A = this chain, B = another copy of it.
Amino acid sequence: MKQAFDGYALGEERVDIENVLNRVLASDVRSDVDVPHFDRSVVDGYAVRTGDADGASESVPAFLKLIGSVQMGEENTAVLRENECMYVPTGGMVPKGTQAMVMIEHAQKVADDEIAVYRSASMYENMLRIGDDIRVGEMVLTKGKRLYAQDIGALSSTGHREISVYKRPKFAVLSTGDEIISPDSELTMGKIKDINTFALAAQIESFGGEVAIKKVVVDDFGTIKSEVEKATEKCDVVLVSGGSSVGEKDYTYEILKELSGKEIIAHGLNIKPGKPTIVADVDGKPVIGLPGQPASALMVLTLMLDILHEVFYKNVRVKTYVAAKLDQNVASAPGRKTFQMVQIAQGEHGKVAKVIRGKSGMISLLSKSYGYFVIESSSEGKEAGEAVNVYPLQ
């Protein structure tokens, strides 16, 4: 799937940095300014010339003439001459000629205009010179970076107020099935309340996508086909849940084959859950048939989002996890990579991963899930007590 859509390009837009949390940079960002753009102190203390404090100690201090102090945020036009010092607070501009800052803890006022310095200072100690931190034109953040708080701070400090980010990828979520009704409709016999459109849409939102179409579609060949067609025009990714299995009325495969006009990229994945997943290329866009079972559909979508992240942003999502000890043996599905859903509980000796079991399609498989761990297809399974990395489902 990654290879098939490798050239896919999302649009770009300029967004104010107050609104870019979780968005992804569409171009490299370089600094507009030198940081700092003046020589500044990183401590509260006295600006000195290093030669004047050479050999200074508690017993033999250097006595320097205090020529004043600078106010925060003010330009400092003073010039430091031999045997002079000046008070500069943290972040303040040092006078011309400053070679180091001596912290107030290592100095003492001995007269109105005289400071005893108890330490020698090395060149440029406790200060930053122009561009020491970041030079004008230097790369600050690279294209494809997802933006978190620290990045937004870096953007603002290097003079950026608006930046180019990728447009949110647009998703369509089509849940097929004649049995599905809205959660606020009254349940009648044979019907079930809609789960997938809500759960899948929320997961897309977590990913930073936009759900442009969200619909329950009746299980009719023509209807599904026309809805998928419309969705493909408007969206970057189309999800069709249900109808990817092998039952009587599972049209998705046939529809995607017709719409794609070429080989289906994947029909049946070597994973559990998620075997009935279908991936097709319709007009250059990924159309994904997800399993109808809610827990399976959400799990497969999560894995697909990892791949789509690479397709859209050309880098791999860093996945974090929590280590936990398994509460029971888990067999792997022979020849398939297994994604086992678990709860997380706090045990006496650390976190415990409690395996969630139940019949296929149970909602409680979903509501109890914190996340999943992976059993490679080459492995026979994991044993009770074994440590596993549990990835949150979100």
Interface residues of A (CB under 8 A from B): 17-18, 21-22, 33, 35-38, 42-44, 70-76, 87, 89-93, 104, 126, 128, 132-134, 140-141, 148-161, 177-180, 182-184, 187-196, 198-203, 205-206, 219, 245-249, 292, 294-295, 298, 318-323, 344, 358-364, 366-367, 369-370, 391-394
Contact = CB atoms under 8 A, between A and B. Distances in A.
Contact of A140 (B73, B248, B367): B367
A183 B179 CA distance: 54
A295 B37 CA distance: 19
Contact of A248 (B17, B44, B74, B295): B44
6 contacts: A73-B190, A75-B189, A151-B367, A152-B199, A154-B363, A321-B321
A70 B191 CA distance: 12
Contact of A394 (B148, B184, B249, B362): B148
Given A126-B359, A154-B363, A156-B183, 18 more contacts: A17-B198, A21-B205, A22-B206, A38-B190, A44-B246, A70-B190, A73-B177, A75-B189, A90-B361, A91-B192, A91-B292, A148-B394, A149-B203, A150-B367, A153-B199, A157-B294, A158-B363, A320-B320
A123 B154 CA distance: 63
B90 A196 contact: no
Contact of A298 (B104, B153, B190): B153
Nearest to A346: B316
B318 A75 contact: no
A177 B72 contact: yes
Nearest to A205: B21
Contacts of A245: 44, 90
Nearest to A302: B149
Given A149-B298, A153-B298, A89 B364 contact: no
A29 to B, nearest CB: 9
Contacts of A140: 367
B38 A393 contact: no
- Sort A-B residue pairs by CB-CB distance and give the 7 closest, nearest first: A153-B199, A154-B367, A73-B178, A73-B179, A75-B189, A320-B320, A149-B203
Contacts of A206: 21-22, 148-149
A273 to B, nearest CB: 13
Contact of A149 (B42, B199, B247, B249): B199
Nearest to A193: B157
Contacts of A202: 21, 148-149, 152-153
B156 A194 contact: yes
B394 A89 contact: no
A219 B294 contact: no
B178 A159 contact: no
B196 A153 contact: yes
Nearest to A31: B363
Contacts of A320: 320-322, 391-392
A178 B44 CA distance: 15
A153 B89 contact: no
B247 A93 contact: no
B292 A149 contact: no
A369 to B, nearest CB: 5
A154 B194 CA distance: 10
Contact of A190 (B22, B92, B203, B319): B92
Interface centre among A190, A322, A360, A364 (most CB of B within 10 A): A190
Task: Pick the most buried of A38, A73, A128, A367: most chain B CB atoms within 10 A of its CB.
Answer: A367
